[in-house]
Structure 1
Amino acid sequence: MIIKIISIYVRLRFGYIPPEMRYFYYDTYYCNIVQWKYFFRDYIIKKPYKEIAFDGEFAPELQFALPFAYWHYKNGTLKKTKASRFTNELYFFSPDHEEAFDIRTNEGNYNFETPRILYSHNYDMKKWLPVPLKETYQNDIYVFDKPILVIANRYNMEWDGPPISFYSLDILSYMISRLKNDYTIIYNRPRPKDITGDNSAIYDLNEFEWLQNEHPDVILMEDLWKENRAKAKTFNHLQLMVYANTSHFLSTHGGTSCLASYFGGKNLILSKRGPEAYFGCYQKLYPKLSGATIFHAKTDEEVKALVEKHFVINH
């Protein structure tokens, strides 16, 4: 009955919305209703009871599941968390965290036990708090003469097709040439063995050897992992430590851009396609993660313009 009522309400109120977007509105209201049943335990009793499990993709985990778990921790109601491999350091606050899942799934995104799933027309969320990853993982190890700028790239299957939102060799060469005098540039594109896989195949951009030959001043995150001066427990742990000392990011669509948005400063996101733009995620949601200033580019030309305007220091 509840599902039918929500469906009718969404159709009547948002009938002008494209059908492929309308179900996100339905999901938003359904998530709200599910939370009603926990009112007394969350606001009156307030004893540890909440067990949160999430095996969806990296972006929605960072956007919704992790801040939901942190809210319960601060509320005194968090009992246990379950997530994918290499997530212990993300859930540093959890009294009992289990790395229970070997793979991330699209089906896992639709966890209606969280206050939101995927995209929404309304990001005024209760039971959601930004997680202080920057404050937790700042260190005096990854410090350089010039401020750090992280280029967080990806080259994955997107929507069951070829890569769409990624920094090509041409745009990488442009950004590095324009920024290398102002920053210590660290390039990060994790190898499949270093992260928990999902339903997106990872391809080879053939940029690592190219970077070493053409731009030897650029530091590769994977080289920092090989050295592991900070004795990080996992590649994800290392990312958190490096990112925590960074206030300038050039990132790409998905979990890559979401993680970079957790550390304040500036984050330029290349996203050429996806519901995020339709729902204003980059303006309404991503800044909530840390107070970061977010710039969204839909094309390589927009990337260049935003780099010149907001990242180049010595023009």
Structure 2
Amino acid sequence: MQRNQNPRLACHDDIKPTFSWSNRLAALKHRLQGKPNVRPIGPYPSSIVDSQGCEFGYEMFYHVPYAYHLAKIGCLQRTVSCSGTKCFYFFSPDHREVYDRRQFVKHLDSIDQRPHESPDANRWEPPNFAAHYGNKIDLSFSKPLLLIFNKYNVEWDHPPINFLSTAFLDRVVQKTQDRFSLVYLRPTSHIVHDHMPVGNLNEKERLRDQGVILAEDLYEDYQHLSFNEFQLCLLSQSQHRIAVQGGAAYLNALFPGQMMLLHRYGGEQLHGNYIDFKRMGVTELTVHNNEFDMLDRLDQFNHSLRHVA
């Protein structure tokens, strides 16, 4: 899929933004307010992109495309984020990992956005992760790769809501494993450090016994990579994905291919964020509010995949 190009981006290549006196005064104001990483440059909110340790999905949706656009026009000074994020900012001249946990942030200062707002298209350009990481490792799967991203954690101070059940996972395996190599990813507290406790769905041994490859098992052969970089390599080699509402859905949307997404609850549908997903790189996205609809769609999903694989 060819990414959408904003015709206004070309004008920035001719006139590189510079720091004005108003920018310098604004930077001083932010510093006095305890926001030293907010340094406006020309019309841009900041030449330093600081995620503030925000939720993973928002960083993929807002910070990474904004930082990439700044890098392309030669105005990115620095990126600041959580541990294990260097791979997302491969284009950054100076990436610093200062946060060890993620949290909900009401206002994303260095990009001047609030969660669920539609990103400003004039300063938003997702990097082509698939091209950058597509040939980094040779996974050598015998069949097309189907990635299944799941989660099982506390959401909005409630028990897990957006997750794929064990019964649904069994049906997916039955319907697809003759045609696909299945890799299953459900992050644990050893991989993700978040403000929401992670539970145990007790599904992994069951899936392993059915021939599904667990991501953490596969990762053992690629310990020279961070787990995030390993995920980028996996996604770069997959055209077929099933995911759930949350951070991994935003990451998936940055890659071409087909994605089925379970969304039971969350602000993305209310605020129209899934419409923006189609600008991020994913070729085909279907959003489902329950697993029954996903199972009905799965047959069509598989049929259409015969022409893509």
Return the letter of the residue paired with 2:67. Answer: A
Corresponding residue of 1:125: 121
Structure 1 residues 92-103: aligned runs within 5 Å:
92-103=90-101
Q: Determine which of 144, 165, 170 is the counterpart of 2:162.
A: 165
Q: Does 1:295 align with 2:286?
A: yes
Q: Distance in 1 between matches of 2:48 and 2:286?
A: 35
Q: Distance in 1 between matches of 2:284 and 2:102?
A: 29
Corresponding residue of 1:185: 182
Q: Does 1:222 align with 2:216?
A: yes
Q: Distance in 2 between matches of 1:247 and 1:185?
A: 12
Deviation at 1:233, TM superposition (A): 2.2
SS at match of 2:111: coil
> Quick one: structure 1 residues 306 and 232, their matched pair in 2 at CA, closer, same or farther if it must change by over 3 Å?
farther
SS at match of 1:269: strand
Q: Determine which of 278, 298, 307 is the counterpart of 1:307.
A: 298
> Is the Cα contact below 8 Å between 2:261 and 2:287 reproduced in 1?
yes
Return the letter of the residue paired with 1:59. Answer: G
> Is the Cα contact below 8 Å between 1:143 and 1:245 reproduced in 2?
no
> Is the Cα contact below 8 Å between 1:266 and 1:294 reproduced in 2?
yes
Corresponding residue of 1:76: 74
Q: Distance in 1 between matches of 2:42 and 2:252?
A: 36
Q: Once superposed, what is the RMSD of the aligned Cα atoms?
A: 2.0
Gap regions ≥5 residues in structure 1: 1-36, 44-48
Identical aligned residues as a percent = 28
Corresponding residue of 1:62: 60
Deviation at 1:124, TM superposition (A): 5.4
Corresponding residue of 2:42: 40
Q: Does 1:85 align with 2:83?
A: yes
Corresponding residue of 1:211: 207
Q: Does 1:253 align with 2:238?
A: no
Q: Distance in 1 between matches of 2:233 and 2:239?
A: 12
> Quick one: structure 1 residues 115 and 291, their matched pair in 2 at CA, closer, same or farther if it must change by over 3 Å?
farther
> Is the Cα contact below 8 Å between 1:134 and 1:243 reproduced in 2?
yes
Q: Distance in 2 between matches of 1:106 and 1:40?
A: 29
Q: Size of the alignment, in residue pairs? A: 265
Corresponding residue of 2:19: none
Q: Distance in 2 between matches of 1:185 and 1:169?
A: 15
> Is the Cα contact below 8 Å between 2:242 and 2:259 reproduced in 1?
yes
Q: Distance in 2 between matches of 1:191 and 1:203?
A: 8
> Is the Cα contact below 8 Å between 1:59 and 1:258 reproduced in 2?
yes
SS at match of 1:251: strand
Spell out, residue by residue over 1:235-277, the C-alpha distance to the aligned partner (whole angstroms, 9 max, x if none).
1111111111011110011111111111110111101011111
Q: Determine which of 235, 249, 255 is the counterpart of 1:243.
A: 235
> Quick one: structure 1 residues 148 and 260, their matched pair in 2 at CA, closer, same or farther if it must change by over 3 Å?
same
Corresponding residue of 1:275: 267
Deviation at 1:198, TM superposition (A): 1.7
SS at match of 2:113: coil
> Is the Cα contact below 8 Å between 2:57 and 2:250 reproduced in 1?
yes
Return the letter of the residue paired with 1:299. Answer: N
> Quick one: structure 1 residues 186 and 138, their matched pair in 2 at CA, closer, same or farther if it must change by over 3 Å?
same
> Is the Cα contact below 8 Å between 1:269 and 1:294 reproduced in 2?
yes
Q: Distance in 2 between matches of 1:158 and 1:41?
A: 37
> Is the Cα contact below 8 Å between 2:50 and 2:110 reproduced in 1?
no
Higher helix share: 1
> Is the Cα contact below 8 Å between 1:248 and 1:265 reproduced in 2?
yes
Q: Distance in 1 between matches of 2:104 and 2:266?
A: 15
TM-score with structure 1 setting the length: 0.79
Q: Distance in 1 between matches of 2:141 and 2:263?
A: 30
> Is the Cα contact below 8 Å between 1:64 and 1:115 reproduced in 2?
no
Q: Does 1:194 align with 2:191?
A: yes
> Is the Cα contact below 8 Å between 1:267 and 1:293 reproduced in 2?
yes
Q: Distance in 1 between matches of 2:103 and 2:295?
A: 34
Return the letter of the residue paired with 1:226. Answer: E
Corresponding residue of 2:49: 52
